[in-house]
Amino acid sequence: MVAPRALSEFIAEANEILEALGRELLALEESGLEQADPDRLNAVFRAAHSLKGLSAMFGLESISRLAHHAEDLLDALRLGKAPLDQALLDLLGQVVDMLQEMLGEASRGEDSTELKERSEMLAGELQQLASGGGQDTADVLDQVGIDPQVRAVFTEYEEHRLRENVKKGVGLWKVRAVFSLEDFDTRLATLNASLKPLGEVISTLPSSQPGDDSSIAFDLIFGSSKEKAELEGRLLEGATLAPLTDKMFSTPPPPPPQRKKAPLWDDKSISGPALSPLASFTSTPSGLSRLATTPEPSLRSLTNTVRVDIGRLDGLMNSIGELLLIRSNIEKLSDAARQASGPALPKLWGQELQREVRALERRLDELQKGVLDVRMVPLGQVFDKLARLMRRLVRESSKDVVFDVSGGDVELDKLIVEELSDPLMHLLRNALDHGVERPEARTRQGKPPRATIGLVAKQQGNHVIIEVRDDGAGIDEARVREVAVDRGLVTREQTEEMERRELLNLVFQPGFSTRRDVSELSGRGVGLDVVKTNLQRLSGLIDISSRRGEGTTFTLTLPLTLAIIRALMVKVSGRTYAIPLNAVLEIVAVKDEQLRTIEKREVIEVRGQTTPFIRLARVFGLPEEKRPVHSVVLVGLAQQRLGLAVDELLGQQDIVTKPLSGRLRGIPGVSGATELGDRRAVLVLDIGALMEELLRTQVAAS
Amino acid sequence: MSTRRKVLIVEDSGATRELLRAAVESLIEVEVHTAVSGFDALKVLPRHRFELIITDINMPDINGLELINFVKKNPHYKDTPLFVVTTEGREQDRDRGLQLGADEYVVKPFVPEQLCELVRRYLKL
């Protein structure tokens, strides 16, 4: 049977294909169905085709079968035998989700009949749609007179594209270009890019006529409505243009009759999500009603694999080469030092050694940065999946919502991106279910009937900020107060002294939920507290802001990477702790008499701002020395500031954090441990959790 | 110098490529080279004297048919046996592959032993 390693490779590749499939489908939908880019359609087809072949090779017949039916339908689409419409795209979206589920099962070695049955039903629907198309009639290609030798290498799809171009009455050209064997692929890509705005590159044929050994000629079959002179003006140097056929027609054949769209949807429903759920339930053939009982597909990817741009790996290899060089230099110096007689080494050696050490440091820095780069993936990987999910949820809801995504190109550590999909999905659903109002309610308040839910990412220094925002009703403060008191999270007296922001933050408390009704769509039994815990595991923070009638914004602050962080090492009561440097704002010295106490808490004044002050020794229950001046590390995350009193500053260091194990896991305010060179374990402070703790005890104390 | 017989496998799917490689490499007399696309194959071809080429049809840059045409029309390579190993069930595409000069047409999922048998026959092992 298939070796486990081969299987995991299969899962990684299949997963990648599915991600690409989802992305292309989304792009198709966004670009408008009328003007669907044939290249894009072909890419979707190719993805389904690859998946079919791949899963068949690995003995996963049910996946292969479903992919096969999808391929058939997509084939009909790209060959123009079936019309592309919204219902069809939805169905394909469901197929992608289903395939993802099946792949998940396969990766766990499961094989459930329930999934199989659902997949068979989907396959049936695909089949029905694929069989609808008619055959093309008289072949226009026969009338154009293309060299049969050329025609023989075309696939059925390329012939179809050629036919479409003939039907449009555009000129058919053969662009010949000779490139060096070394770089013909990049040169061809440039040529293609320059031709694409002028028409359609139907096929790229390597010429079999041998030139010299170092070059290769290509014929690009190209359809364009532009004049010969204009085309020639735009061609790259070394490329020549000739008509593809001898009989260029003088009058273009009549345009093909507009194919009638299958009446699955009326025109209104195609134009946007502004349709009532009833309409979509009855008018799609895809049986949306079944979706309500369909478990939500997990948006996480199934593998831990990171596909890496080869350039990044080359960079790493270079750094390693340089490191080896430095190593041998140091070796030479140490050999020389060993052989030298006499007690004192010449000063020169010391200098040379120092120079090598500095070079070593630089290279190690590069290497570290390189490794971090390799771990980075664009947030788009998860944003695309969320966008697909949201489109579906919006269509199934009775709300009219635009989903606005930006910042998908921001890169984060793969580990973080993976872990983000669940909390983001939860926040987005919340926004849809509880945030935005129905169109009628919005109109009554003088708002535009169509609501907006936004997902925005941007990088800010060492952090990535992700916002989930809606322009809905905002959070009802009074209701939050009521619930929090009801559930015994706080007393009424406490809430009266709380600022609005603190009040809002109560929604993250375990056991809090203002949901009055459980909608069809909302995730079951998971509250915002879980979102918060998820984020804290990633050393992230979540903050909420909301205005009545205007909307709610959740702001997530995340570190760029988890793996290696730069930390400030400090000593407290003889023990060493690490404070992540990305949270450190500055170091200040505070005299004991400058400490003030407000509401039984110590505070300091930093740049005119009153800042909470905590003694780390007390936090960790260690003995505390009395001292006249405190070394204070001022840390900040999002809007919050905190001063941490330590005994001694040891300097900066790069540390690799490891999660805590066993009995250490429960220590509050600690996110992990690291080992220094001397094999001592050092605890890494969790600034987010410390601030949290502070806020909570503050609330409790007041 | 290796005296093993060189075989080129052209396949864009990494997992499938490895399966093909494993199948063909089970023949000890064979040295497998791989290309991940039609373009890649065009670059690799002049570098070695291949005695057999195995290619997929559905590939991103130039398709397998175009590669077959290139190989079979080129005086340097035209006598090199060429197998198509593909999922392509479309008869039209298969016929074209054979017309263009492909020597064998193997449909995926292939049986490794059968593929090996074909390789052996063409390389006269």
Q: Is A283 a member of any domain?
A: no
Q: Does B33 reach chain A within 8 Å, measured CB to CB? A: no
Looking at residue A469, its pLDDT comes to 94
Q: How many domains does chain A have?
A: 5
CATH for A693: 2.40.50.180
Kindly identify which residue of chain A lies nearest to residue B78, measuring between CA atoms: A208
Set of chain B residues whose Cβ sits within 8 Å of the Cβ of A201: none
Cα(A579)–Cα(A586) distance, integer angstroms: 12
Neighbours of A617 (CB within 10 A): 18
Cβ A168 vs Cβ A255: under 8 Å: yes
Looking at residue A344, its pLDDT comes to 66
Cα(A391)–Cα(A275) distance, integer angstroms: 13
CATH for A551: 3.30.565.10
Q: Does A161 reach chain B within 8 Å, measured CB to CB? A: no
Q: Is A397 a member of any domain?
A: yes
Cα(B11)–Cα(B58) distance, integer angstroms: 9
Kindly identify which residue of chain A lies nearest to residue B58, measuring between CA atoms: A46
Q: Assess whether A53 and A129 both reside in one domain.
A: yes
Looking at residue A305, its pLDDT comes to 66
Q: Assess whether A532 and A577 both reside in one domain.
A: no
Give the domain range for residue A678.
564-701
Q: Is A532 a member of any domain?
A: yes
* Parts of chain A with a pLDDT under 70: 1-6, 132-139, 210-211, 237, 246-307, 310, 341-345, 513-526, 562-564, 638, 658-666, 676-679, 695-702
Among A193, A220, A243, the domain-final residue is A243
Token pair listed for A273: 């999500």
Q: Does B72 reach chain A within 8 Å, measured CB to CB? A: yes
Give every CB contact of residue A635 below 8 A, 6+ residues apart in sequence. A579, A583, A584, A585, A641, A642, A643, A644, A687
Cα(A416)–Cα(A19) distance, integer angstroms: 18
Strand order of the sheet with strand A640-646? A584-591, A629-637, A640-646, A609-615, A601-606, A596-598
Cα(A513)–Cα(A599) distance, integer angstroms: 30
Q: Does A46 reach chain B within 8 Å, measured CB to CB? A: yes
Looking at residue A301, its pLDDT comes to 58
CATH for A80: 1.20.120.160
Neighbours of A295 (CB within 10 A): 8
Q: Does B9 reach chain A within 8 Å, measured CB to CB? A: no
Q: Assess whether A429 and A453 both reside in one domain.
A: yes
A672-691 residue pLDDT tens: 777 765 667 788 898 888 88
Region B5-123: CATH code: 3.40.50.2300
The pTM score is 0.54
Q: Is A219 a member of any domain?
A: yes
Q: Assess whether A319 and A398 both reside in one domain.
A: no
Q: Which amino acid is at B116?
A: C
Interface contact A10-B15, CB threshold 8 A: yes
Looking at residue A250, its pLDDT comes to 39
Interface contact B69-A213, CB threshold 8 A: no
Q: Assess whether A75 and A190 both reside in one domain.
A: no
Cα(A21)–Cα(A564) distance, integer angstroms: 33
Set of chain B residues whose Cβ sits within 8 Å of the Cβ of A188: 39, 61
Q: Could you give the C-alpha distances from A41 to A26, A73, A123, A155, A695, in angstroms and in order?
A: 11, 11, 20, 15, 53
Q: Assess whether A523 and A600 both reside in one domain.
A: no
Q: Does A56 reach chain B within 8 Å, measured CB to CB? A: yes
Token pair listed for A570: 């400090």
Ramachandran angles phi, psi of A137, nearest 5°: -85, -140
Set of chain B residues whose Cβ sits within 8 Å of the Cβ of A158: 63
Interface contact B66-A204, CB threshold 8 A: yes
Q: Assess whether A463 and A350 both reside in one domain.
A: no
Looking at residue A211, its pLDDT comes to 64
Q: Assess whether A596 and A545 both reside in one domain.
A: no
ipTM score above 0.85: no
Q: Is A287 a member of any domain?
A: no
Q: Is A445 a member of any domain?
A: yes
Q: Assess whether A215 and A355 both reside in one domain.
A: no
From A182's Cα to the closest Cα of chain B, the distance in A is: 7
| Distant-in-sequence contacts of A28-34, Cβ < 8 A, 24+ apart | A28/A84, A28/A89, A29/A86, A29/A89, A29/A391, A33/A84, A33/A85, A33/A86, A33/A89, A33/A270
Q: Assess whether A433 and A353 both reside in one domain.
A: no
Closest Cβ–Cβ partner in A49, A158, A213 for B46:
A213
Q: Does A155 reach chain B within 8 Å, measured CB to CB? A: yes
Kindly identify which residue of chain A lies nearest to residue B12, measuring between CA atoms: A50
Q: Is A95 a member of any domain?
A: yes
Q: Assess whether A115 and A17 both reside in one domain.
A: yes
Cα(A610)–Cα(A324) distance, integer angstroms: 52
CATH for A209: 3.30.70.260
Instruction: Give SS3 for A135.
Output: coil
Among A503, A528, A559, the domain-final residue is A559
Interface contact A206-B12, CB threshold 8 A: no
Q: Could you give the C-alpha distances from A396 to A69, A231, A266, A273, A287, in angstroms and in order?
A: 25, 48, 17, 9, 12
Cβ A583 vs Cβ A637: under 8 Å: yes
From A185's Cα to the closest Cα of chain B, the distance in A is: 7
Token pair listed for A95: 């197929």
* Parts of chain B with a pLDDT under 70: 1-2, 88-90
Looking at residue A677, its pLDDT comes to 58
Among A80, A108, A135, the domain-final residue is A135
